[in-house]
Amino acid sequence: MASLDQEPSAVPGPGSPQCPLVDVASASNFSCFQLQHFHLDLRLNFAVKEMSGWLVLDLIPIQMGNHILVLDSHPSLLIHSIDCKVPRSGQEEPVSLTYRIDPFTDYGSSLNISLPAAAVKPGRLIEITIRYTTTDGPAIWWLDSELTCGQSRPLVFTQGHSVCNRSFFPCFDTPAVKSTYTATVRVPDGVTVLMSASRSAYSKQDRVFQFSMEFPVPSYLVALVAGELQHVDVGPRSRVWAEPCLLSCAVKKLGGSVEHWLGVAEDLFGPYLWGRCDIVFLPPSFPIVAMENPCLTFIIASILESSEFLLIDVIHEIAHGWFGNTVTNATWEEMWLSEGLATYAQRRITTEAYGEAFTCLETVVRLDALHRQLRLLGDNNPVSKLQVKFEPGVNPSSLMNLFTYEKGFCFVSYLSKLCGDIHRFDHFLRDYISKFKFKSVVAQDLIDYFLGYFPELQGAAVAQREGLEFERWLSGCGPPLYEPDLSGGDPLIQPVQDLCDLWRNIECPDLQTVTSFDLSVWSTFQIVLFLDRMLDHSPLPHGDVANTIGRTKYILMYTVPLYEDLVAGVMKYVAVEIFYQTQRRMHPNLRRTIQQILFQSSSTQSNQNAPALSLMSSSSPSPSPSPSPSLTTQPQQPSAKATTTIALRDVNVSA
């Protein structure tokens, strides 16, 4: 077997100065233990769609008298046995443990393990081994061959954000806890396995893959994909993985750009700490657009249709290498600490790499969408807060929305404006990463470090400036209190606005005048901005606009928002017909979500919908209600992180 490069290096432990002791989305008692490391040993069985094996947790108890270990789990995990041993204690034989599984929420359960009193001593390492089998939990997506791009071999991938990986392995499923991990994965012949790990090795004879993540990560960033995958190196520390039929297209679209983007990011924010920056393109069944799994970004193959959105999404995930992965939000109630900072970093990278006009145009599209959502929701809707307090039982995934990204971005931009020099703020962010690397933080950590870094601002009491108080930024509803100057995008934005004004202000515009606008040279974001602004003034003033739009090739739509828009209008029967023709090519999770959108009120429909009723009733388990399009644009399923949606009515950002 090929050896791993080296032993894992020592890194700072988990936690942070102000890490919260309570996470209402976790059933675990993570504050009672320090998780040093864990190891997964799994065998993948594509025939029965199961992963089976064991998990070993290296734990150090923190408190005296705590003889119960509580882990996050899921009803789809079948626990076979649990045992414990104390390394280097003279007792080499493991001790079998008793355990109890209790309900927690609709997205998980609690695994309560009784620990032997003699073994639990503060500061002394214990090893807990859990043997288990996965079934059809929300983190694990088994794709039959017809659901893959090549349609020749099955594929499986995991998606942990936000609280799904408790159905992959029992864990402290909270971003407040980080640890290193290793994994051994056994697969059938012809299957390649990838994980979000810094090193890997493979034994062809034994069909065993081994992985090591030497840097501490939270549970949601542990990811796996296995199938017919091939790769091409596109830089000294990056390679592209995909099914064979997609690989050449993906490589052509990315070229050497990844290393260029990494270099720009490093100039701004300091060294990229994760070693590898690989990308794997997944079939259209992937439930989100992209996921920032460390060392191995997952991204949907559909994004290859648009070079600009591919660029934005990959750069956004690269930015997470600093903001979100290296320094992580300690609670899901403050996701903006990851997404808002990553969005700011993404735009700093694109400004340096592609200029101010490009970045301002993209930002205008996103902020337009933010204000569009506010008009639907109202300024007092609590979902527009940066710090969203949620009750126990609420799935954190349902809180992902434009405010997490764009209002967070505006707050970070405001902090940059306060310091008076964007390059000084770059240095602040670089030092912030260095200060808190591999830790989980709360908003107050960032604010305290900011005010300490710029003492003149603290002396000027900028945190209490009337109307722009930091507390109001974090806890207040409504639009951002400040938005950056985006006039640098006028060369690209003004032609779009001119065409919109032409259509809106003239009852029957001259077609020759309209066609003088050469949309074939417009960028994707110009087309999206034009469509959004036209539809903001629906109904459209003239039918020929459809012909104008039809000349472009950049209209991208994703499945769920498209079906939601069709059902909301007069096109429901068209949507039903399309669904019947394409449902066999949908992942079962997506199929159930679309069924719910189409047929949730089917009991009141005419007999024409009778087949839909029987189809819906045969689906088990029943899908949860789909969220309002005004709150989120992704399917209401635990594995869905915020989706990039380039639809006619809404634009969201990448994961």
- DSSP for 101-155, please give it: EEEEETTEEEEEEEPPTTT--TT--EEEEEEEEE-S-TTEEEE-GGGSSSSSS-E
Domains of the chain plus CATH, in order, are 22-146+153-215 (2.60.40.1730), 329-487 (1.10.390.10), 488-550 (no CATH), 559-598 (no CATH)
Each residue's pLDDT tens digit, 80-89: 999 999 998 8
Residue among 118, 135, 130 nearest 50 (CA): 135
| Percent of the chain with pLDDT strictly greater than 70 | 85
Annotated catalytic residue 573 = no
Amino acid at 408: G
The Cα 473–Cα 385 span in angstroms is 8
Quick one: average pLDDT of 630-639?
A: 31
Candidate from 154-163, 295-304, 605-614, 615-624 with smallest mean pLDDT: 615-624
pLDDT score of 646: 28
Annotated catalytic residue 317 = yes
* Location of structure tokens 């515009």: 509
Each residue's pLDDT tens digit, 173-206: 999 999 999 999 999 999 999 999 999 999 999 9
pLDDT score of 476: 97
Q: HSE on the CB side for 56, CA within 13 Å?
A: 16
Q: Is the predicted pLDDT of residue 610 greater than 50, yes or no?
A: no
pLDDT score of 590: 78
Does residue 366 sit in helix, strand or coil?
Answer: helix
In this structure, what is the dihedral angle of CA atoms 334, 338, 340, 343, given to the nearest 10 degrees? -160
Q: Which tokens sit at 571? A: 């096109």
Quick one: average pLDDT of 328-353?
A: 98
Q: Which residue has the higher pLDDT, 454 or 606?
A: 454
Each residue's pLDDT tens digit, 205-262: 999 999 999 999 999 999 999 999 999 999 999 999 999 999 999 999 998 999 999 9
Q: Is the predicted pLDDT of residue 390 greater than 90, yes or no?
A: no
pLDDT score of 498: 93
Does residue 326 sit in helix, strand or coil?
Answer: coil
Q: HSE on the CB side for 348, CA within 13 Å?
A: 28
Quick one: average pLDDT of 550-571?
A: 67
Q: Which residue has the higher pLDDT, 355 or 118?
A: 355
pTM: 0.87
Q: Which tokens sit at 194? A: 């990838």
| Percent of the chain with pLDDT strictly greater than 90 | 71
Residues 6+ apart with CB under 8 A from 53: 40, 41, 42, 43, 131, 132
CA angle 397, 399, 405 (to 5 degrees): 105
Give the pairing of strands 278-282 and 192-195.
unpaired
Quick one: average pLDDT of 1-16?
A: 38
Each residue's pLDDT tens digit, 20-31: 578 999 999 999
Cβ(383)–Cβ(401) below 8 Å:
yes
Q: Which tokens sit at 585? A: 């090519």
**Cis-peptide, bond into residue 162, ω within 30° of zero:** yes
pLDDT score of 505: 77
The mean pLDDT value of the chain amounts to 86
What is the phi/psi pair of residue 419, to 5°?
-75, -10
CA angle 369, 564, 611 (to 5 degrees): 175
How many other CB atoms are found less than 10 A from the CB of residue 15? 17
Candidate from 151-155, 419-423, 531-535 with smallest mean pLDDT: 531-535
Annotated active-site residue in 214, 317, 406, 564: 317
Q: Which CA distances in Å does 194 have to 45, 230, 273, 293?
A: 16, 11, 19, 11
The Cα 152–Cα 369 span in angstroms is 39
The response to whether 7 counts as a known ligand-binding position is: no
Q: Which tokens sit at 208? A: 């065993």
Assign 586 a pLDDT band (cuts: 50, 70, 90).
Answer: confident
The response to whether 305 counts as a known ligand-binding position is: no
pLDDT score of 102: 98
Burial 439-456 (b: 16+ CB within 10 A, else e): bbbbbebbbbbbbebbee
The response to whether 161 counts as a known ligand-binding position is: no
pLDDT score of 512: 74
Annotated active-site residue in 107, 181, 405, 558: 405
